[in-house]
Chain A
């Protein structure tokens, strides 16, 4: 599937996203009763979707609300949804008493270096696979396919031993270094995108005497930038939210990524029943990605739909 057709289709049934006219015109042939039943159907669907939306959002609202409660309100029956006096102090306490800040820094270092460097290696590889005369193409392809088939849990123990032998345990390096060599799924996605780029422009550049590095950097990379941006965001989120690899490697609290920090706070403060603090930390951990999502939601949802439908 090409990118452009998918994007032009995305607007729901041809109307711009969200801008849906309520009193839509039925085809002239359709009898009146049909319109009425459609409208009743629409309302029914609206009510059901709203009920579902409440179920989806309630736990998150409850998280925020709990974080602002006093300890008494947390254990009040019937439950309190809006704290009488919001305890903003909990958030101050969280910054001071925990490793949330270093968690943020570490997560950012890992996610940013993985995605920035990883995207470059992935785009170069995708270009070579899709558009260049590549020796051992089939061998490389089969190798990559088998790479996808092997789940991380099977690799985690030997990788851990490798990295512990070179003294990388309790550093961020085991989380960064393997990933910057490229992500096979990202390479496949970019390769797919490159299939739509005509070979003629590359041939023309070759005739003009451009080196392959110039072709890649000046010609190809700008063309695939939208696909790179989409994969960049998805990959960033994936690395940011990762939990298994970080808990294998990171022991010192100041060196842990955000997910590990909040998981440890969960264990530590649950015994003191300090749920407001735990919920505050978890909520803050959600915020950056939530903000990115709300800003780029259209692009994110489109690229997700695209990755899945062509896979």
Chain B
């Protein structure tokens, strides 16, 4: 290689490094350093201002017997029930929208509006909609003769109420992704299946479902990661964590320990446990996905 070419390469190296400098510095400053700091802080007793007293693994031992933290973890898992329901409904919607019918654009827009709406505003709206006496939900139920509960004040109904709202808000997003995936399935596949005498359900099960599998995987992974970080709905709709802590999510509990009770060290330990849980669950999903796709191949 000639000298001038390597000089050119070196100049390109410098330019390239300059171009990625901002994200790299941002990563070191706002991700890597905070993570290191978090690991240390989680081993201390600390109120965020005073001295950090090293206590070893005490915080991690403590959180396993913290009834409120365990309850909030359980609630967070419970909310995930909404994920398969939401995906099933949105897939059905996408299949329905793949037909040539009137008003498709209008339907697509309407189903998508909740997705772009601010979560804070939506949570405020639904808190009011779940009002036991004057809320929209119970008024709608009264039309069919059902006397609805006071949703957010009931230990039994508060979690389903939040799930229902989350499904309503996320439906349009999954639907759009499914629709795009369905539309990229070659029509010849369906035509061949039709010639072979496959009925609608068989075509759906053997062609559509496997073909949209990557989208399902993407949606499950992102919904689990997002669901594990549920906060806004909880804090706005049930500012005290619901009756008997029945709606408190993990992030909400962490936030409260850190910023209301100044238990920064302890809250950081919980945040690390939550982060690790999310990581492990995500890695398991990737592993399962790889195995399953081999089965299909």
Task: Report which A residues bind B (CB closer than 8 A).
Answer: 1, 6, 9-10, 12-13, 15, 17-18, 20-22, 24, 41-42, 45-46, 48-50, 52-53, 55-60, 62-63, 66, 74-75, 77-79, 121-122, 124-125, 127-129, 132-135, 140, 143-144, 146-147, 149-162, 164, 178, 180-182, 184, 187, 211-213, 216, 237, 240-241, 243-244, 247-248, 258-260, 262-263, 266-267, 275, 278-279, 282-283, 285-286, 289-290, 293-294, 297, 300-301, 304-306, 308-309, 311
Contacts and interface: CB of A to CB of B under 8 A. Distances in A.
Interface in B34-86: 34-35, 37-38, 41, 48
A134 B134 contact: no
A248 B255 CA distance: 9
Given A15-B100, A42-B100, A282-B121, A132 B113 contact: no
Interface stretch (B19-27, B149-157, B202-210, B288-296): B19-27
B248 interface: no
Most chain B CB atoms below 10 A, which of A146, A247, A266: A266
A10 B136 CA distance: 36
Nearest to B15: A212
Contact of B99 (A45, A55, A78, A147): A45
Contacts of A149: 279, 282
Nearest to A212: B15
Contacts of A187: 23
Most chain B CB atoms below 10 A, which of A24, A127, A159: A159
B121 A132 contact: no
Contacts of B184: 1, 6, 9, 309
A62 B129 contact: yes
Interface in B206-255: 214-215, 218-219, 222, 225, 228-229, 231-232, 235-236, 239, 250-251, 254-255
A263 B120 CA distance: 7
Question: Looking at chain B, what size class is its interface with the partner chain?
Answer: 35 or more
A7 to B, nearest CB: 11
A126 B222 CA distance: 23
Contacts of A79: 134, 136, 139
Nearest to A146: B31
